[in-house]
Structures are given as C-alpha cells and as structure tokens.
Structure 1
Amino acid sequence: MPNNLEPIALDVLVHDCTALAPFLVDLPEGARRGMRSEQEGFFDVVSEIHTNQAALGDKAGITKADFDAFQESNTRVAMIDAHLPAIKKLVERMEETRALEDDKRQRLAHAFADSVDRRARTMGDKNLLAKYERTRKYRSAIALKAVKTRAKNAAQAEAAETPSQP
C-alpha cells in the first residue's frame, strides 16, 4: 500500500489521532481471523486500478462507489501507517520504562524487608517483624514458589522413572 503521508517522528510523545477517530474500530477477540492483508505487489495493483478506472472501470464492473470506497480505504491505511510506527515505539518505550520502574520498586521492597529483618534482630523487636509481615512474606514469595516447583518437578521425574505395576 503506498504511503504518501509523512511518518511521525519516533520520539514524539503526544499523538493526535483525532482525524482517525471516525473510522477507528475495536474488534472483538478473534475477529481478525480470516481477514485479508496487504501482500507483496499491492502497490502495483493500486496503481493499475487507478490508471484504468477512468477509461475501463465501468466496463470492468468497478463502480464509482466501489472505486471511491477503495480510495477511501487507501487513504485511511496511509493515515494509520503515518502514525503506527511512532505509536508502537511509544508503547515499547512505555513498557520498557514500566519494567525498569517496576524492577526498581521490587528491589527496594526487598531491601526494605531485609532492613526490617536486620533491625528487628539488632534491636530484638518482634513487633517490627509483625508490622512488616506482608512485606517480608512478599519478598520470599518467589523463592517459595521456586521450592514448590522444584519439588513438583522432582516428584514428576520420580514418577516417570518408577515402572507402573500391573
């Protein structure tokens, strides 16, 4: 599909898609199954249809209404294509930044739990442990899950090695 619109710079943080609003859709899950998509050589098809429409369109059975709908779809796809790379890049940046910030807060929460344990031991304050019980338990959740997974895998491996009795 030819794209004669200028693409938006990839570092743009604000994207005004208001012009696309009249035709943007939100399809239900699985609705794209069976839809056709642009293949190699479509640019040549578009060019051929445009070139021949005035002289041969009626003879070929391509009505003005259908040709207009085709042109409208071409324009809409070009409009979307102008925005899509920059929006995808913004989503990528958002996801990567979220992952980085989530990692920071997870590491800090774990450090807080470690600090509570050290302070409670140093000061002999069991009340401090109780007040941060969820934080300390959360820190250990991944390790506890790993222990359960290893035990489950070991049990499955043992069951696979043991011959079944008839």
Structure 2
Amino acid sequence: MGLLLCKWLVPAWLTLFHPFFVSVTEIRHDAAKKELQVSCRIFYDDLENALKTRYKTRVDILHPADKKAVDALVADYLSKHLTITVNGKPVAAKYLGYEIQEEAAWCYLVAGDVGNVKQVQLKDDILYEEHPEQINMIHVIVGGERKSTKLDNPATAASFAF
C-alpha cells in the first residue's frame, strides 16, 4: 500500500514544482480538399504570457474585450513561430481562430492548394521564448499515415517523408 501511495504522490508532487510546458501541433492533409488542416493545442495561460511579452500589451484570451484584436495577435504569433513547407515549397497557412477547451487554447489554421504531399518540413518554436524546457509535439497525417516527433527547446526543425 505504501509503495502504491508513493508511486502516485511523488509524480503529483513533482508536477506541482515542475509543471509541464508542452504544445501539440497536428497537421492533417485532406487530399479531397487539397488542403492542410492545422491545429495547435497550447496552454492558454502560456499563450497569453507569450503574447503579452511579444506585443507588450495586456491579453485576456478567455474573456477578450476585443476578440478580433486577440485573434490578430494569435495569428501573427503563430505565423512567426510555426512555418510549414510541403515538397520544398513554403505553405501559407491562414489563421481561422481559436477556442478554449479546459486549460488549452486550440488554434486552427488551414492552407489551401496543397496537392500531393511527399514531404513536410516545419519550424516550430512555439513558446520557446517563454520556457527553456518547452516541448513541442508534432503529428503529421498524410494519406491516413501518421508520423510524429517531439522537439525539445531549442530544436525547432522537423521533417516527415511520405
């Protein structure tokens, strides 16, 4: 019983003093629509802090006084910290918006005119300026095949071949 309690309490205690700094980006190719559908799951408080630091302004993602202004900041931030290349050509991802689910902001982007995908390369340094221990998980799904990797700060580049 004591061993089971230790197995549960020690990780819980460590989490209090060593919080996790993780984002998850999923890039899904929809061949029928010839587009990439991108979603980024970022803890909203970390994203707020990153936006406050970068843009020197107060940001409230949960209850924005001006949702369009917050969307503009999030869109600009993501455009600078997440870049995607398909088959050697840069892809322009259009920001669609975000929604809050529990502690996370789900940010959505889409890139059109993406036909056959053989290789996806990306640069992802979301929240790296905020947290030296930031980890960014990346999942890319093409033709039903899912490939994943993990980027530990300061690593920013990932490449996937299909």
TM bin, normalised by shorter chain, reads: under 0.3
Larger relative contact order (Cα-Cα within 8 Å, sequence gap ≥ 6): 1
Larger relative helix fraction: 1
Give the TM-score normalised by structure 2: 0.23
- TM-score of the two chains, using structure 1 as the length reference: 0.22
Bigger Cα Rg: 1
